[in-house]
Structure 1
Amino acid sequence: MKFSIIAIAAAAAPGAMADFWISYMSREVPGVPSVVGGNNHGAIFHKEPEISCDQHKKSMIYSDTDDVSGKHVGMRTVPGNRVASPYFRDPLDIVEFNTGAGKPGHHTIYKDRGFAMFDVDGRQTGQCYENRSKVFYLRCPDGGNFVNLEGSSMFFCESELNVTYN
């Protein structure tokens, strides 16, 4: 079987498929007030399907909000129904997120389009699959305190977008 150098290089290139997971996370530090702006509840982006303390106790959470247009960073769900833990939001008919200057940027996932993901110019930027199967409840040590992480996966997305995993 012959392998071309070009095919091997293309497979290893940074622009190759950068698939990612979107999960909903609630992060609480018992006895410590919530962060101003409420960014302890919302969407996180991660590479692997499982959530671990080491990776996520300080992850960037894109907070729930009603407006993610322009410079408004966060995640908006439509219809936006609040439900009990671990799902927090259901159904996921429209999920719009804006990560600002961080990657992947501003995109919307539409249920009525088969969970395809589009940028603000209407170009399809990925294909997502609703996946609520990854549920997590973690109590993570953090410098003498504990951080409680709770939530579930929302989507697995196939895309060439580069995603920042904080």
Structure 2
Amino acid sequence: MKFTTLAVAALAGLNFSPAAASFFIYWSQDPVSGTGAYLYYFFRGHPSCNDVINARAYTESDDVSRIQGVVCDGAGCSNGKFEEVKRLEMNTDFGHYTIYKDRGFGLFDTRDRNLGSCRPTREHSFTCGAPFSMSGITMFYCDSSVNP
């Protein structure tokens, strides 16, 4: 197949890229309820405290097939060694996805389509004061077509 200059220019104008977005998953603990529940945040970049306060925090659950939340399997879910997370399933406002360690930390949708890749990381943290002392750390960085 031979591409014409016009076809190449048209495709370039579309700015097509299968990995058009990237995002961070942050891990935190609930500072308000006293339960110490794990919380998960999704940001396109490193958040400001204003971003954190206004963001939706997803709580951990045993099953997120019918409810929004996050399921985390593996020792890395509680010890902060995120490379030990075996599976992170997320049912969120922006979709239902799962990261699998045994599949190279690929990001998959509910139809088992690979939508990108993630890597465990602890490269950034946040600490925010009033009204509550909130802190969190990056858990994963994902390159994907998913856009939270």
Q: Flag whether TM exceeds 0.5 (same fold).
A: yes
Conserved 8 A contact 1:134-1:153: yes
Identity of aligned residues (%): 30
Q: Which residue of 2 aligns with 1:122?
A: 112
- Which deviations, in whole Å up to 9, do the C-alpha atoms of 1:23-56 show, x marking residues without a partner? 1123535xxxx39xx8x741111011x2311111
Distance 1:57 1:88, change over 3 A: farther
1:19 aligns with 2:22: yes
- Aligned-residue RMSD, C-alpha: 2.9
SS at match of 1:150: strand
TM-score (norm 1): 0.71
In structure 2, the gaps of 5 or more residues are 1-7
1:51 to 47, 51, 57: 47
Aligned length: 140
- Cα distance in 2 for residues equivalent to 1:152 and 1:21: 10
Q: Which residue of 2 aligns with 1:147?
A: 132
In structure 1, the gaps of 5 or more residues are none
Q: Which residue of 1 aligns with 2:61?
A: 65
Q: Whose helix proportion is higher, 1 or 2?
A: 2
- Cα distance in 2 for residues equivalent to 1:62 and 1:88: 20
- Cα distance in 1 for residues equivalent to 2:54 and 2:15: 33
SS at match of 2:47: coil
SS at match of 1:147: coil
- Cα distance in 1 for residues equivalent to 2:19 and 2:102: 27
